[in-house]
Structure 1
Amino acid sequence: MRFNRRKNNSVSNSETGNCPIKITIILFLCVFYIVSAASMICAEDRISQSVVKVLATQRLPDIIKPWSKQTQREISGSGVIIEGGKILTNAHVVAFAQQIYVQPYQSADKIEADVIALSPEVDLALLKINNKELFKNNLHLAFADKLPKTKDPVSVYGYPMGGSEQSVTEGIVSRIEYQAVFYGVPSLLIQIDAALNPGNSGGAAVAGEKLIGLVCSKIMAAENIGFIIPVEEINMFLKDAADGKYEGQPMISGIQVQTPENDALRSSLKIPEETTGMVVQDVKNIDPDFLLKPWDIITHIGDYPIDNEGSVRVNDDLRLPATYLVPRIAKEGKVPLTIIRNNKQLKLNIPVSVESQKLIRFQGFNYPRYFIYGPLVFVELDQFYVQQLLKTDKIALLLAAIGSPVITRMSDNISFKDEALVAVFSPMFSHKITKGYDTKGPFGVVSCINDVPVKNLIHLVKTLRDNRKEFVVFKFANLRSESLVFRRSEIEAATEEILNENGIRYQYSEDLKKIWSSK
């Protein structure tokens, strides 16, 4: 019994001796948990404080009355405070904005902001404000130094519709693609499955407490399919805009390519089995230094081999179209390509440009260029105008039915420098000189004036300015429009009457004033 009692006492003393160690461990774990949780909360607070609400008063163009603007509307989006005391948001959030305000996290203050750089093609805008207090109280968000991988978790911070406070949603990276989304210019995009809604645009997509991208859009017809602009594109935008003027990303224009996978095609071109790349199908580039020709086989861009689907391997986990590398390796307006022509390998430096050679091309968020002559309103067509015009299926079907160049030449490249389509889509103004004409149209694209083909809006204005003939004859490039004939003296006299009667201040957009006034 004594032996047992001693044993029991020994065990009891041992357990008592271990108690302080256990308590210390438990306390350490508790403190570690509390510190970790606090650190996580602080990190989340820092991210939240770097994401602001962007408020804009927008006045969109009126495509039927190009001398005017649509009624103003209030829109909102999100923005991210970045290094250097600037705010990053989407271009479409501040497009055509008359006023822009930034509202900090959990604040009622609205701080006036100005756009200092805009890239509609990549959907990025850079804002500045004159309130340094915002940047004292709200830290900027650090950028990730590489692209995320598919299945990586992502958190989205922003101010979507449905409430006034900041929202945070979670998701994963679904895929990474390089495609033309905004106005025909390709860019790198990350698809995520986090819930996005209007108002999220310009918000932060974060992983590991760092910005991996900026929210830009979602597919409205699908659930949880949204896109963010990765930091890689953002850095290129900021570098370009650092001198105060955004130029845009260079691209190769005016060529069509196809895959060389067909056996007969490969045999006809004598392409060796081990050779991969893309075959040049057609060349419509107007640059005299453009050296590519039909049936050239492009095998490399820089040092990167191109596969038979036109892609290059960017890293072990990512393959993208070869055009992804053009703005990244171009130097002094040229990009190096390796081609095979007539069974010989050649290394060429191909010209690239930030200017598109598409006939209907995007020319920025600008109000339409217009010219009023008598009862007619002429506009020069660009991609933004055409997109607004074709928003209704009815208009698109009508233009297709009459064979309008707006439809038939939509994918064409320019055939000479500064070529553009000039059209009349507004109904004629009421005036006695329109007697007997269908004043509602459709009119469409102007083909010629007094049998002089119209090259662009400036050329049209010069042609009318210099015309000394008794009559002015307008012909249109579609199947149903009438030819319009007016006495020159009558139509010029009618112009001033029409402007006065309709309260129109200017006969032309500002850039045409000097040209018309020099008559």
Structure 2
Amino acid sequence: MLESLKRGQPSLLAMGDDSDEAIRSTKRHRQNHAKDIWGNIGALLEGTSVVKLFCRELKPNYSMPWTTKRQQSSTSTAFVLCLQERLLLTNRHCVAHASCIEVRKRGDDQKYEAEVLARATDCDLALLTVREEAFWEGATAQTLCNEVPALFSEVVCVGYPTGGDNLSVTKGVVSRVDYEDNPDPWRNRLVIQIDAAVNPGNSGGPALVAGGSCVGVAYESLKDGSTENIGFIIPVSVVQKFLTAWRRLKSTAPVGSTVSEDVPPVRVTAFGHGRFSAQKLENAGMRRALGLAAGQSGVIVKSVDPTTVNAKVLQKGDVLLSLIGVPIGNDGCVPFVCGSSRHDRVPFPYVAIEKFVGEQLEAEIMRAGSKLSITLQLCPQEPLVSVEKEAPWLLDYCIIGGLVFVVLSQQYLRATFGDKWRKERCNGLSEIMDSREREFPDEQVVVLSYVLAHTVNLGFQDVRNARLKAFVVDGVLVRIRNIAHLSNLVEASKEEFLRFELYGRGAGFLPDIIVLERSAVQACEDEVLRRNKIPAARKISNSS
């Protein structure tokens, strides 16, 4: 055996030149095959469409809104969307609270300053631009594919994740096309789940399919300790709707207006909301009680926002049978068509995915046993407790005798109670997120965050995170509409005492009423601000 191996060795050495050529031929074949499948991705590999994003962030302190947290830095990904309009696309969360944004092309030693043109919280997308023309020299725009890829389709994620400074490419398949898991189905968005690695820094990068077209934007991965290889991308259909909504706003802007450092980015609302809530009708007995015949299906309306036009045609207890001509199942879902597959189901608001705010939705309802046709309107997404991260009113505050009043938001709850705030009662504040409709169009939930200790507020200094109910004017309880309303009432008050009523928080000595002497409050204002290094007693945005 050993001799035979030795005898064979010369022949192998003699074949060395042919073997090298065979290897090179195989390599060329694989490269050509990859090119045939994935299209000409030379521009991608040269970094002329995908860029690295460098961001300096100044995150606000929601419980102390007159300050900011320490500046932090982060990196992520963006790609060239349109050369003519000089547009880059990335995720909104990549540039949230940015004080400085820079981009760098692959292989380039120069960074270029970028600015945000538009952002949308409802789909986590943002548009950037670079003013320096040198950046756009040699750049190529990424081609978009509007079709949702079928299951098992191969996907390549391109970006600049952590672990290195250079361009990274990961490959996987489409494992699911579904809606986000949000308690409010109107706030869910279509997402594509892939098993390609999506790590911090990949956000904002394109996901490509065969042919080199982009089918989505990488934006998050699920890492809860019990799952692996679950990443999500935002499909191009959502990107296109965001762009359409932005261009509509742009077309209504004053002639000659331009983006500058003094003008904030445009807040785009790409998706609307029905401003009503519903529950499933999976119980056959309940369907019969509501007068539904065999074969009929739908959802029952739980509440309707009284401040919207939909409250004029839709009532609590109505059964919503169909929306835009699509029957709604008893599970609250409708069929979802993905390629040739018609087996999946998604929440019923999906049928309005191509509609914009202000447009009409034809619907059929069952009311008191009678079938009716009504017209609903798609409204802006304005929940009572904001889920925004950069809206100006989130940092509004008012300090009265050391009492710090702020606007309740999801960001405030997270900053005060931690990332697991949804699992805690948060003094009853978290329950307002999903359980209350607006009573006034401009309503805000005003919270007594905490008390800056001073003799004027002695006895109330342990009050924390208490919801404000009313302010007493001429002996009458006046319901607080928003933080601007509170500030105006206090400033206009001529009474000897300022009386605040809080929502009750159970038994014990926790106060439901706070009374401060008005003259003492006015006398101590400057001292309270000086002691706590606060620049002003109040900050009220024009949006309140």
- TM-score grouping bracket, smaller chain normalisation: 0.7 to 0.9
8 A Cα contact 2:446 2:483, kept in partner: yes
Q: Say whether residues 1:425 and 2:427 are aligned partners.
A: no
Question: Which residue does the alignment assign to 1:449?
Answer: 471
8 A Cα contact 1:252 1:352, kept in partner: yes
> CA 1:251–1:180 in 2, change beyond 3 Å: closer, same or farther?
farther
Please report the RMSD computed on the Cα atoms of aligned residues, expressed in angstroms. Answer: 2.9
1:206-245 superposed matches below 5 A = 206-208=208-210, 209-221=212-224, 222-242=227-247, 243-244=249-250, 245=266
> CA 1:448–1:266 in 2, change beyond 3 Å: closer, same or farther?
closer
Q: Say whether residues 1:481 and 2:510 are aligned partners.
A: yes
Name which of 252, 263, 275 aligns with 2:284. Answer: 263
Q: Say whether residues 1:371 and 2:398 are aligned partners.
A: yes
Question: Which residue does the alignment assign to 2:12?
Answer: none
8 A Cα contact 2:151 2:176, kept in partner: yes
Question: Which residue does the alignment assign to 1:248?
Answer: 270
Match of 1:191, SS state, is strand
Cα distance, 1:303 vs structure 2: 2.6
Distance in 1, Cα, partners of 2:407 & 2:219 = 29
Match of 1:465, SS state, is helix
Question: Which residue does the alignment assign to 2:89?
Answer: 88
Percent of aligned positions that are identical: 25
Question: Which residue does the alignment assign to 1:416?
Answer: 440
Cα distance, 1:215 vs structure 2: 0.7
> CA 1:273–1:147 in 2, change beyond 3 Å: closer, same or farther?
same
Cα distance, 1:142 vs structure 2: 0.3
8 A Cα contact 1:123 1:182, kept in partner: no
Question: Which residue does the alignment assign to 2:42?
Answer: 45
Q: Say whether residues 1:349 and 2:341 are aligned partners.
A: no
Q: Say whether residues 1:195 and 2:217 are aligned partners.
A: no
Match of 2:484, SS state, is helix
Gaps of 5+ in 1: 1-26
Distance in 2, Cα, partners of 1:89 & 1:267 = 49
Instruction: Determine which structure has more spread, i.e. the larger CA radius of gyration.
Output: 1
Distance in 1, Cα, partners of 2:384 & 2:105 = 43
> CA 1:77–1:421 in 2, change beyond 3 Å: closer, same or farther?
same
Question: Which residue does the alignment assign to 1:162?
Answer: 163
Kindly tell me the number of residue pairs found equivalent between the two proteins. Answer: 481
Name which of 381, 386, 389 aligns with 1:361. Answer: 386
Match of 2:88, SS state, is strand
Distance in 2, Cα, partners of 1:106 & 1:475 = 62
Question: Which residue does the alignment assign to 1:10?
Answer: none
8 A Cα contact 1:204 1:213, kept in partner: yes
Segment drifting more, 140-149 vs 438-447: 438-447
> CA 1:462–1:95 in 2, change beyond 3 Å: closer, same or farther?
same
- The amino acid across from 2:534 in the alignment is I
Distance in 2, Cα, partners of 1:445 & 1:75 = 35
> CA 1:382–1:131 in 2, change beyond 3 Å: closer, same or farther?
same
TM-score, normalised to structure 1, is 0.85
Distance in 2, Cα, partners of 1:71 & 1:406 = 27
Distance in 1, Cα, partners of 2:360 & 2:35 = 52
Cα distance, 1:419 vs structure 2: 1.9
- The amino acid across from 1:296 in the alignment is D
Question: Which residue does the alignment assign to 2:253?
Answer: none
What does the per-residue CA deviation read over 1:290-345, in whole Å, with 9 as the maximum and x for residues that have no partner? 31223433222213222332222242424322201224145843211122334443
Segment drifting more, 172-181 vs 375-384: 172-181
Cα distance, 1:430 vs structure 2: 3.4
Cα distance, 1:421 vs structure 2: 1.2
Match of 2:431, SS state, is helix
Question: Which residue does the alignment assign to 2:13?
Answer: none
Question: Which residue does the alignment assign to 1:172?
Answer: 173
Distance in 2, Cα, partners of 1:331 & 1:486 = 45
8 A Cα contact 1:156 1:168, kept in partner: yes
Question: Which residue does the alignment assign to 1:500?
Answer: 530
Name which of 314, 333, 340 aligns with 1:292. Answer: 314
Match of 1:511, SS state, is coil
8 A Cα contact 2:270 2:356, kept in partner: no
Match of 2:346, SS state, is strand
